[in-house]
Amino acid sequence: MSWSRGLVLSATALWAALPCTARAEPDRAAALQLFADADQICRRDDGALWGRSLCGPILFVDYTDRSFVANQQAPSGALRQEGSVFVGVLPEEVIIANTPTEWDGQRWTQIVAPISDDQAARDVLVAHELFHRIQPALGLTRNEVGNAHLDELEGRYWLQMEWRALNAALGAETPPRRRSAIEDALAFRQARYDLFPTAAADEHALEINEGVPEYTGVRLALTSAQARRDFAIRDLSAFVNAPTFVRSFAYATGPAYGLILDEFDPDWKSKLGERSLDGLLRAALPASTEAAKSLTDRARPYDDGALRLSEVRRAEERQSRLAGLKAALVDGPVLVLPLRNSNYQFNPQTLVPLSGYGTVYPTMRLTDAWGSLEVETGGALVWSEGKRATVKAPTGLSAASGEGWRLTLAHGWAIAPGERQGDYRVVCTRDCGE
């Protein structure tokens, strides 16, 4: 699952809640090139990396009007064939995103047009998304639990220190320098784990879900060791200025750890399962020559104090922002939407953990049995128990929009008064098709 980031990123979603216009089917030449690139990548691998072929059905989708070009016919035969490709329009209930998509009785790789003009970025994206389609069959999917600690000062600081050390390891010219930088990276990660009790499990889940696919993209799309290292280094720098790291960090760490593991333990993929990337690397390294080195001594080459100072300033600004979000989405009047079988489109670089409550999505498209919610500004809070979302309350029962959002209700659903004075909720009134 991916979103565009100038290079190539990947995550649960690409926010694409834009108004429909006249039909603008994806460029046919671009679709043909995409399909040819995907075929070349998967046939070159021929199932060697994961023991399973990445080849399969692909939808190349125009997010402005939901039209698509496919590389094969749908199981129902519903698509119109035009030369060597097939065309159609995705139903409204299908989320548009760089993600695996269940549609017409089949699991597809969905890629949203347009894609990067950078050949390496485009190929990594394609290979990443091809892997997502087969990922569940490999047993490599996990329930994600937020990684809220990566929006805290110390979590962000030690993650960036880890990135800097991994960068040094990938670019090291001698084995001793590479080994020293790897040990530094692992020490910085352990510092994070020591500060936040759930960090190890939380980070492992996202590195399985997105770090491993991004490693796969880099490993299969690029054909030389140097090109892979160069792209992994790009991934390590691509997120530094992102508003939050809670869902983006794994796209940076996945390729770095994967490529390093390829060197120290070529059989690491067969051991992955419940073992983490950093755990596998710790086990693969020979006994440390710098075991007694202090964290302060390790940190000195990577930060002259500027990074720590910038993170302190960010933390101060963050507290003010969190207070505003809590006032708007928790304490103030809200519209409550039940979550039962939801699908999301969002930009993973913008998510804001709201401690004790859930995660704020500054922009998103949310669909469920009750219809769809489009959030353009102001944000929506998805509560941590996963059963509800809230946005700022509308002006009344008949209002299907509010500050920065609009709601399209399905048949049999309506807005009703909520439990608190001034609150509203979306409820089923009759044959809702639940």
pLDDT (mean) for 8-33: 54
Backbone dihedral region of 318: left (phi > 0), alpha (psi from -120 to 50 degrees) or beta?
alpha
Please calculate the CA angle 325-329-330 and round it to the nearest 5 degrees: 105
pLDDT tens digits, one per residue of 218-242: 999 999 999 999 999 999 999 898 8
pLDDT above 80 (res 424): yes
pLDDT at 254: 98
Q: Which residue type occupies 105?
A: G
Token pair, residue 212, equals 């491993």
pLDDT above 50 (res 18): no
Query: Which candidate, 235, 32, 26, 206, places its Cα nearest to that of 121?
Result: 235
pLDDT above 80 (res 86): yes
The helix (H) or strand (E) run that includes residue 185 is helix 175-195
pLDDT above 90 (res 12): no
pLDDT above 50 (res 7): no
Query: Which candidate, 152, 146, 147, 148, places its Cα nearest to that of 314?
Result: 152
Token pair, residue 44, equals 């070159």
pLDDT above 70 (res 174): yes
Beta-bridge partners for 100: 109
Mean pLDDT of the chain: 90
The Cα–Cα gap between 188 and 199 comes to 13
**Cis amide prior to 114 (ω within 30 degrees):** yes
Percentage of the chain modeled with pLDDT above 70: 93
DSSP string across 198-258: THHHHHHHHIIIIIHHHHHHHHHH--SHHHHHHHHHHHHHTTTTSS--TTTHHHHHHHHHH
Q: Which residue type occupies 396?
A: G
Beta-carbon count within 10 A of 423 CB: 16
pLDDT tens digits, one per residue of 149-167: 999 999 999 999 999 999 9
pLDDT at 79: 97
Beta-carbon count within 10 A of 336 CB: 21
Q: Which residue has the higher pLDDT, 161 or 96?
A: 161
Residue 20 backbone phi and psi in degrees, to 5: -70, 145
Three-state DSSP class for residue 173? coil
pLDDT (mean) for 176-195: 97
The Cα–Cα gap between 117 and 18 comes to 23
Q: Which residue has the higher pLDDT, 188 or 22?
A: 188
pLDDT tens digits, one per residue of 138-149: 999 999 877 989
DSSP string across 296-317: HHHHTTT-SSHHHHHHHHHHHH
pLDDT (mean) for 364-388: 93
Least confident interval from 30-39, 81-90, 107-116, 283-292 = 283-292
pLDDT at 241: 86
Please calculate the CA angle 55-56-58 and round it to the nearest 5 degrees: 120
pLDDT at 434: 53
Token pair, residue 249, equals 């960090």
Residue ranges per structural domain of the chain: 28-138, 148-303, 319-428
Which own/partner pairs from 42-51 qualify as long-range (CB within 8 Å, at least 24 positions apart)? 42/130, 44/220, 44/223, 45/220, 49/216, 49/219, 49/220, 49/269, 50/131, 50/134, 50/138, 50/216, 50/269
Q: What size, in residues, is the chain? A: 434
